[in-house]
Structure 1
């Protein structure tokens, strides 16, 4: 097939799982013999813009006429079978959907988060899960300044949601949800259920698997409250006060809480803050882990770190909500703890290391689940099937 991928890259200073997913899918399509093009804008470029140009960026979030024209010209040259949209914020905008309608090209879109029903896409506010805007207008998001804690910064995203909701829902032939949990929320919000299909992300085989019982417990990701870092610190302190687990906790990543985490870890033998690590270092840390910890406070739409652990034959201790409940089978491929409950998290961490033989069995079952559902081969098959169904559905509507 001939595919044109649309993506606004997130800033490089913040590691982005979404950027990685897009890069891997583009490479997967090319390696599979498909012709794939990329229409891309980079948020990094905003820093180099003049002040007048920067001032215009928020105004063009809902609709960018220049990008519509640019993308329309690209469509006339490439003439793809299907356009695959990932992220359009802030430099692309949903105007690309109009260009696709003009060129009569079917569109599929991967929903990596909840931006269709929540301006910041997180369903998280003030330390708790929030669904105030789901199924209605995003008034609460503006009132609370949900994006970057700023009402002014939230307005363009809220305006785009309101102005383009129907266009998304009518002009996109197929939406790829990255979990059943995400799909359920979007259907509840009123999105067309017949256009929403679940297509999990895939993960490349790391080429290494865990040997032995593991040398540490591992948190790998952005250091933020919504990722459950504070909860993990509280749970770990409780375990330390009771004598510890005999294994250190390693935290790898950066984010708003990195200074707090560095201070907390300083001088301790049971905690190591590894900072921002390369992909190779992350694979190595994962392969040496007794378990990966994913204590997210928000409703994760997927959970790449969980599947990356599966690929290495490592079990996960994760919060029992969002996509984690379908990725981690409690007691089979890992353990689930009660969300936002430090005591429950501490108990499950203690349990995951208490019985090495059971831990090994959990890791082996996790690897089998990876091989069944999350390999590149499975990912390519589901991706191409989704494209073919979208093209057939679009042609069927056009013919009628």
Structure 2
């Protein structure tokens, strides 16, 4: 099969970029021909470029032309879009329709329903725009990068393509990464018949670790929606009962750095290569996942399961179902550092239960998140779309 993959990379690299790369490797390893058409936002640094990008995010004629040319030269059986925002725009769907090539969109976040794609505002979950014909609450609150103008443009993009039936008629199938996300998109009026669940995966398999290191681990973007405030307050209350290693970078880096200097046992390691992160995971006692927003499908949870690492996660959104309390990890109330402390202390005083969780997490990975299983799911989706079969 010949697959044309489209992706707009992020200025701050994240899990979506990793998933796109892994999926390409997996398909190529199984004999398929993949052409990755990738753009990035690095040039969007001044007001002129931002204004141009905003307008183009609604419908980019140049992107449509480029994709038509790419389709003509590569002759794909299918086009798989991962992220069209902001440079590619929904015009790429129309290029596919014009060229009579089926198109799939993976919904890694909630961009079609929420201006900032997170369902997160002022430190908590917000669904004020869900189901509305125009996201006026998000414009009032400047939800896109603190700008009313930018928010209005993204709202216009959503509303215009909702009116044109782009979301409902021009895309053949949407892949959501969890059932939770699928239900949110159904609430947002996307057709249930076009929404299919395929989780993220890990490739290659890093194999399980032993958990011999005496520390807990956080891995992720250092930003408010990731629950860093909850994490740091909890470790202040734990008062050195178990060390915490923090891996990642982002807007809260200075806060994390100053806290690490102040609190004994808290260590900030910055951004690290994937193999070093996996090594830390293999030795950790637990992964702490204090996110305050509706995560898509956190790749860090798949990585933790692959190495047999239990996850202590906020009981919210997708992670509520991805982490099974008492089996593959523990839940705590979102934004509640005292409840996080209670769960960490329980884990420390129940080593046998924690050891059993290590086996359960590895079993969960082998049952649901291996490359082999994911490949079969992806090919089933591709073949059904190419052959015009229903789901």
Q: Do Structure 1 and Structure 2 share a fold, with TM-score over 0.5? A: yes
Aligned to 2:31: 33
Residue by residue over 1:103-152, the C-alpha shift from the partner in whole angstroms, topping out at 9 and shown as x without a partner, is 11111110000011112110000111000110002111111111112212
Aligned to 1:104: 100
Of 161, 165, 182, the residue aligned with 1:164 is 161
C-alpha contact 2:234 2:341 (8 A) present in aligned 1 = yes
CA shift, 1:212, in A, is 4.4
C-alpha contact 2:15 2:298 (8 A) present in aligned 1 = no
Write out aligned runs for 1:237-248 (5 A). 237-240=236-239, 244-245=240-241, 247-248=242-243
Secondary structure of residue in 2 paired with 1:335: strand
CA shift, 1:34, in A, is 0.7
Write out aligned runs for 1:69-88 (5 A). 69-88=65-84
Secondary structure of residue in 2 paired with 1:19: helix
Q: 1:133 to 1:51 in 2, by over 3 A?
A: closer
The CA RMSD measured in Å over matched residues stands at 1.6
Write out aligned runs for 1:273-284 (5 A). 273-284=268-279
Q: 1:31 to 1:232 in 2, by over 3 A?
A: same
Aligned to 2:200: 201
TM-score, scaled to structure 2: 0.95
CA shift, 1:209, in A, is 2.6
Distance 1:354 1:145 in 2: 46
Determine whether 1:138 maps to 2:135. yes
Write out aligned runs for 1:1-400 (5 A). 1-11=1-11, 14-47=12-45, 55-136=51-132, 137-165=134-162, 166-240=165-239, 244-245=240-241, 247-393=242-388
Gaps of 5+ in 1: none
Secondary structure of residue in 1 paired with 2:189: coil
Count of residues paired in the alignment: 387
CA shift, 1:15, in A, is 2.7
C-alpha contact 1:29 1:35 (8 A) present in aligned 2 = yes
Residue by residue over 1:238-265, the C-alpha shift from the partner in whole angstroms, topping out at 9 and shown as x without a partner, is 221xxx42x2011111111110111111
Q: 1:237 to 1:268 in 2, by over 3 A?
A: closer
Distance 1:366 1:292 in 2: 12
Deviates more, 1:76-85 or 1:107-116: 76-85
Residue by residue over 1:44-74, the C-alpha shift from the partner in whole angstroms, topping out at 9 and shown as x without a partner, is 2435xx9755542221110011111121121
TM-score, scaled to structure 1: 0.93
Secondary structure of residue in 2 paired with 1:210: coil
Q: 1:147 to 1:230 in 2, by over 3 A?
A: same
Distance 1:172 1:248 in 2: 48
Secondary structure of residue in 2 paired with 1:287: helix
Deviates more, 1:342-351 or 1:209-218: 209-218
C-alpha contact 1:307 1:327 (8 A) present in aligned 2 = no
Distance 1:205 1:126 in 2: 38
Q: 1:216 to 1:73 in 2, by over 3 A?
A: same
Distance 2:47 2:290 in 1: 40
Distance 1:60 1:204 in 2: 34
